[in-house]
């Protein structure tokens, strides 16, 4: 397919300088399109609506023509959503009246402005694409039941209208795409696509060293000089050693709990107890199953501090925990790259945490507490050393297997890893846009 240079309008509540996961995918995709020579317009919420989740070093390409919407918020969320929808409508309409736009991309959550795709498609005959970074009215991940009563039913109606008139629907996992196809069986199934979040391939693993199994060790991480690093305000590491030492130390001093050659280091990046506190209990339970092995186990935890996890670690007698708190991406990945294997979990069958792709990039064994038919299990099954765990016994046996067999990699087939890079995923996204415009 010949890729023409198009004018694309991206609508997303969250874009840079918002510094959490909600902005990363869409912001980087906007920059990708701009770097490929497409004319990109973007409409986002004003940063005053991002609270403290702001890093002004994170920027969209200066060529992107940016508009921001701002409202005076009230306590009633439904009213705020209505006001935002009206503000987004006015900003988008202003652009469409003046500029020739070839395709619109609506990215969410939040999702309430998705209905504007249908409105503007009818008004200006412009195709649109829906990019689901999360699910809409079926969202129970955060366990707050955000959609209740009449709001839940109105959202179902709005989603049905939005999806039914869309020219393409993007999901971040294959299971989400299957769910959408099942819900909208009257639509062409080829309108539903899966674009993974992927890992940031602007961070390069640099190593000429081969491990004993002939696979390159990824132990040195460098950053493309043209990319912006994520901001980090937390310079402390909290450590728990043998249940007796719990203190704060400066990051520059390194890890006070030194690892011996016979030890095993496990890395955890991002939320863990948030998804399932019982998975924390399973880690601690290793001590009762095999005290000697527990004494050889180190666990590095990178991400926002989770009180439940830290308190359980305090109770640990033998496992050595390091809680690094929130670090910028490059620092977190450097620490993570020293691990022998990675541990993750999930609490929804069709979800994939973004950090799973960072694990894949580092190419070391990945262990996940999950059900066999979950999306994360399907993903891990494509690698030689991706493991799905049910309980603490599974965790112990798998860690022993990795240690005894000296398993150092996730897969020898590095071409499989490459397909999960953001660049590869964005190229697929660009192809979908080109197909919509040419049709």
pLDDT at 251: 32
Indicate the pLDDT class of residue 241, thresholds 50, 70 and 90.
very low
pLDDT at 222: 42
What are the pLDDT digits (tens) for 178-205?
989 998 999 999 999 999 999 988 765 4
Indicate the pLDDT class of residue 321, thresholds 50, 70 and 90.
very high
The structural domains of the chain, with segments of one domain joined by +, span 7-198+422-438, 203-418
Helix pair angle (329-336, 355-362), 10° resolution: 50
- What is the C-alpha separation between 205 and 286, in angstroms, rounded? 32
For residue 303, how many other CB atoms are within 10 A of its CB?
19
Indicate the pLDDT class of residue 269, thresholds 50, 70 and 90.
very high
Mean pLDDT calculated for residue range 409-420: 93
7-198+422-438 is classed in which CATH architecture?
A: 3-Layer(aba) Sandwich (3.40)
Tokens 């390194």 sit on residue: 254
Mean pLDDT calculated for residue range 225-244: 38
- Can 7-198+422-438 and 203-418 be said to share one CATH topology? yes
- Angle at CA 62, nearest 5°, toward 61 and 66? 90
By DSSP bridging, strand 320-325 and strand 236-241 are antiparallel
Cα dist. 133→49, 109, 169, 195, 226 in Å? 19, 7, 11, 10, 26
- What is the C-alpha separation between 189 and 195, in angstroms, rounded? 15
pLDDT at 155: 76
pLDDT greater than 90 at residue 328? no
330 vs 58 pLDDT, higher one: 58
**What's the CATH fold of domain 203-418?**
Rossmann fold (3.40.50)
Confirm if 417 and 411 have CB atoms less than 8 A apart: yes
Mean pLDDT calculated for residue range 357-382: 96
pLDDT greater than 80 at residue 413? yes
For residue 214, how many other CB atoms are within 10 A of its CB?
9
Single pTM value for the model: 0.83
Beta bridge partners of 267: 300, 342
pLDDT at 81: 92
Mean pLDDT calculated for residue range 370-391: 96
What are the pLDDT digits (tens) for 115-135?
999 999 999 999 999 999 877
What are the pLDDT digits (tens) for 3-49?
779 999 999 999 999 988 767 899 999 999 999 999 999 999 999 99
Backbone angles phi, psi at 322, to 5 degrees: -125, 120
């Amino acid at each position: 397919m010949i890729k023409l240079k198009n004018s694309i309008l991206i609508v997303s509540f969250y874009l840079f300088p918002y510094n959490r996961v909600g902005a990363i995918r869409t912001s980087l995709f906007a920059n990708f399109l701009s770097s490929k020579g497409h004319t990109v317009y973007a409409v986002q919420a004003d940063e005053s609506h991002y609270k403290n989740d702001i890093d002004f070093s994170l920027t969209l390409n200066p060529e992107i023509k940016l508009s921001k919407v701002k409202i005076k918020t009230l306590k009633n969320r439904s009213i705020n959503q209505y006001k935002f929808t009206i503000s987004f409508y006015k900003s988008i309409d202003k652009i469409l009246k003046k500029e020739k736009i070839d395709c619109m991309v609506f990215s969410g959550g939040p999702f309430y402005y998705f209905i504007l795709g249908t409105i503007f498609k009818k008004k200006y005959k412009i195709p649109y694409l829906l990019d689901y970074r999360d699910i809409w009215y079926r969202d129970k991940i955060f366990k707050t039941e955000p959609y209740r009563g009449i709001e839940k039913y109105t959202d179902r109606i709005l989603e049905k209208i939005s999806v039914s008139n869309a020219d393409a629907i993007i999901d971040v996992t294959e299971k989400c795409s299957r769910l959408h196809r099942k819900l909208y069986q009257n639509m062409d199934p080829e309108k539903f696509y899966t674009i993974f979040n992927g890992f940031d391939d602007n961070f390069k693993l640099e190593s000429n060293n081969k491990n004993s199994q002939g696979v390159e060790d990824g132990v040195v991480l460098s950053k493309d000089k043209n990319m912006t690093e994520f901001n980090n305000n937390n310079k402390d590491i909290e450590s728990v050693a043998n249940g007796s030492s719990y203190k704060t130390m400066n990051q520059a001093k390194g890890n006070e709990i030194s690892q011996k050659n016979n030890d095993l280091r496990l890395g955890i990046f991002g939320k863990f107890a948030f998804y399932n506190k019982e998975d924390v209990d399973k880690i601690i339970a290793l001590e009762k199953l095999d005290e000697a092995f527990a004494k050889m186990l180190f666990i590095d935890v990178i991400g926002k501090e989770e009180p439940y996890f830290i308190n359980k670690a305090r109770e640990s007698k033998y496992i050595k925990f390091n809680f690094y708190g929130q670090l910028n991406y490059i620092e977190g990945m450097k620490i993570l790259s020293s691990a022998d294997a990675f541990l993750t979990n999930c609490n929804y069958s069709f979800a994939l945490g973004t950090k799973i792709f960072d694990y894949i990039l580092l190419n070391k064994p990945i262990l996940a507490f999950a059900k066999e038919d979950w999306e994360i299990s399907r993903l891990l099954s494509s690698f030689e050393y991706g493991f799905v765990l049910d309980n603490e016994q599974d965790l112990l046996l798998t860690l022993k297997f990795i240690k005894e067999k000296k398993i150092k990699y996730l897969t020898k087939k590095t071409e499989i890893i490459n397909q999960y890079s953001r660049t590869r995923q964005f190229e697929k996204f660009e192809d979908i846009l080109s197909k919509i415009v040419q049709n």
